Chains A and B, each alone.
Chain A
Amino acid sequence: MASEPDYHGFDIPFRLWRLGREIQEIRDDDWIYWRHPPLEPGTSYGSRIPSVDGKDHLENQSVHSAYLLSPGGPRHALFNTKNGCHHLDFQIARLNVGDLHNKTFPNRVVITRTKERIDAYTFRLVHDPHARMYSHCIIEARKKMPDDARPAPPKDVPKVLRTAINQYFAQLADENRPEMDAYYNPGVPAPISVPELIIKAILCAVALFYEKATGRRLPLKEVERFTS
C-alpha cells in the first residue's frame, strides 16, 4: 500500500521518516490530521471537507495520526511526500479516531433514505507509513460483511451514503475548528524556537570554521544562506 516518494525528502524532519519502524494499530483515543485547501474566513466546513485535488477520496482518504506524528505538531501534516511541494497554506482538520474507526454507516447518527436498500460500510483507520512520513494513515471504506472475519475489498460507497459521511466528517472537523485555526499560517514559515536558533548558530559557526580551514563550503543550503 505504501508508495515510495519520488523525491529525496531531505527537507522533511528525520524524526518523521519511517526509518524501519513497524506498522502500528491506530488507537481509538488518537486524533487524525486531515489537510485541505483553506476555507474562506468565518465559514464552516459545511457538507464536506474540501478536497486537495478535486477528487473525492472517501474510499481511501489520506490522513496523519497525531500519536505517530508526535512530537511533531499538526503542521507537519502539510508535508507532501510525493513531490516535495508542501501545502503550506492549507488548513488542517482534526477528527477523533474513535468517531470513525470501525464504525458502521448508516447508523443512528447518519441516516440514509433511498428507494432501494443500500449496503452498510465500515471505516477503518489503517497505518500506511511512507518512507519519509511514518505517521501517514488511510481511512479505508469497506463493505460490511455478514461475517466480520471475512475480509471484503474496498468498494465504491453508494452516493447517498457518500454525501452523508462527507457531512459527518465535516461535522466532526467543525467541532475542533477553533483549536485548529491556530495552526493555519498561510505561506509563512513557523517561528524558529530559541534552542533551535542556538543550535543552528553553533552549526553555522562550525561551518564557517570548516570553510576557513579547508577553503571549501559544505554543500548545504543553510550554510549558503548564512554565508552569502
Chain B
Amino acid sequence: MSEPTTTASTSMLKPVFCCAFAIALGSTEPATRKEYREPLSAEFPDARTAASPISLPENGSDYAAPSRLQIAQSVRQTLARHGLKVDRQQNSSESILFEFFNENRAGVEIYDTGEIVVVVSNDGVINAIELGIQDANRIVDLVKNGFRA
C-alpha cells in the first residue's frame, strides 16, 4: 500500500526540485563554455597585407574614386614616412580607424564615402576635423602635434 503513496509524493515533488535547481543554477555568473566571436572584419584585410602599392589619381581626374582600403593604405604609408606608426587598427563595416596612443590620443578614420576624419584630444577636449586625401600634410601635423587653434 505504501508504494503508490511514495510514487505520488515524489512525482508531486519533482516540479519543486526542478524549480529549486533552476534557481540554484541561475544564481551563478555566466559559466557557459560556448565561445562566440565574430572577426572584427572579415571583409577588409589589414592594410599592411593589402595588394601592391597604389598610386591615387590626381584631383579632378576621370579615374574612379579610390576605395576605402586604397585611401587607408595611402594614409598609412604617408604617416609611416613621417615616423608615425599606427598603434592599433580597427576595421568596421563602414570605416577603418588608425589609432595612435600618443599624448594627443589621435585617431584617423577613413570612411566608405571617402571622408577622412582626424580626431585628437587635448586636455580632455576632443577635436574632430573632416579632411580629404589631398590634406596629407595636415593629417600628419594633427596626429603629431594635436590641434592648435
Contacts and interface: CB of A to CB of B under 8 A. Distances in A.
Are A and B bound to each other?
A: yes
The size bracket of the interface on B is 35 or more
B92 A190 contact: no
A199 B21 contact: no
A113 B7 contact: no
B34 A110 contact: no
A222 B24 contact: yes
Contacts of B130: 112-115, 159-160
A111 interface: yes
A178 interface: no
A220 B29 contact: no
B143 to A, nearest CB: 11
Interface string B1-25: 0000011001101100110111111
A47 B28 contact: no
A220 B15 CA distance: 12
B25 A167 contact: no
B35 to A, nearest CB: 7
Given A56-B92, A164-B119, A213-B10, A15 B87 contact: no
B124 interface: yes
Contact of B29 (A54, A76, A110): A76
A12 B97 CA distance: 35
A190 B95 contact: no
Contact of A14 (B22, B32, B113): B22
B40 interface: yes
B36 A83 contact: yes
A192 interface: yes
B39 interface: yes
Interface in A142-172: 159-164, 167-168, 171
Interface residues of A, number: 69
A50 B90 contact: yes
A47 to B, nearest CB: 3
Contacts of A187: 33, 35
A164 to B, nearest CB: 4
B59 interface: no
A15 B26 contact: yes
Contacts of B124: 109, 171
B76 interface: no
Contacts of A164: 117, 119, 126-128
Interface string B69-100: 00000000000000000011011111101011
B125 A189 contact: no
Interface string A27-52: 00000000001001001101110111
Contacts of B26: 10-15
B46 interface: no
Given A111-B127, A203-B21, A84 B34 contact: yes
A71 to B, nearest CB: 11
Interface string B39-55: 11111000000000000
14 contacts: A40-B88, A46-B105, A47-B97, A47-B105, A56-B92, A84-B34, A110-B126, A111-B128, A160-B117, A164-B128, A167-B105, A196-B24, A199-B24, A203-B24
Interface of A: 10-15, 37, 40, 43-44, 46-48, 50-56, 73, 75-76, 78-80, 83-89, 108-115, 159-164, 167-168, 171, 187, 189-190, 192, 196, 199-200, 203, 206-207, 210, 213-214, 218-223
State the 7 A-B residue pairs at the shortest beta-carbon distance, nearest first.
A47-B107, A85-B36, A164-B128, A189-B31, A46-B99, A190-B29, A13-B26
